Amino acid sequence: MDNKLLHEVVITAIIVRGGKFLLTRRSSNKKRFPGMWTVPGGKLETKDYLELPKDTKEYWYNVLEKVLKREVKEEVGLEIKDIEYITSLATIHQDGQPSLVISCIAKYVSGEVTLQFGEADDHKWVDIQEAKSYKLIDGIYDELVMADNHLKGIKTEWRRF
């Protein structure tokens, strides 16, 4: 069934701890971007809200925030808070699947990085200068610059930095 309104929704977290950002290297077995560095996140699934009581008569609230907290806990073993929007992007993957990605910044709360098997095989906490030396998925460095600016109180829209 072809539904032009049906998109895969992904939310990611640029996690900040002590002025550094968490990068993870995608496992080599991943279908999309194997072996490349990125930030943690994951896909919204209908079970992320259908199994919960609605917050109002019609709606579930904070769905993306709950998904992001769950995905970060599963993928890297960390607790996060203060999730804020940074930017969004869309693509149509080689398999024809359209994706909408919402990129956020979040503060580290607790935990030690523990990588989920099959998702990522390495991680690093880096500052903005160190991030340049990693083979990042295209656009991630620019998102990190936006997050770094956000921490300094500077609001920016995505562009090449």
CATH number assigned to the domain comprising residue 87:
3.90.79.10
Tell me how crowded residue 17 is: count the other CB atoms within 10 A of its CB: 14
Q: What are phi and psi of 19, to 5 degrees?
A: 80, 5
Render each residue's pLDDT in the chain as its tens digit; 161 residues: 467 777 899 999 999 999 999 999 999 999 889 999 999 999 999 888 998 999 999 999 999 999 999 999 999 999 999 999 999 999 998 888 899 999 999 999 999 999 999 999 999 999 999 999 999 999 999 999 999 999 999 999 999 99
Judge whether 41 and 141 are in contact, CB under 8 Å: no
Domain count, the chain: 1
Task: Indicate whether 33 belongs to any domain.
Answer: yes
Judge whether 8 and 43 are in contact, CB under 8 Å: yes
pLDDT of residue 94: 85
Query: Tokens 């300094």 correspond to what residue?
Result: 152
Task: Indicate whether 159 belongs to any domain.
Answer: no
The sign of the dihedral angle between the CA atoms of 114, 120, 122, 123 is negative
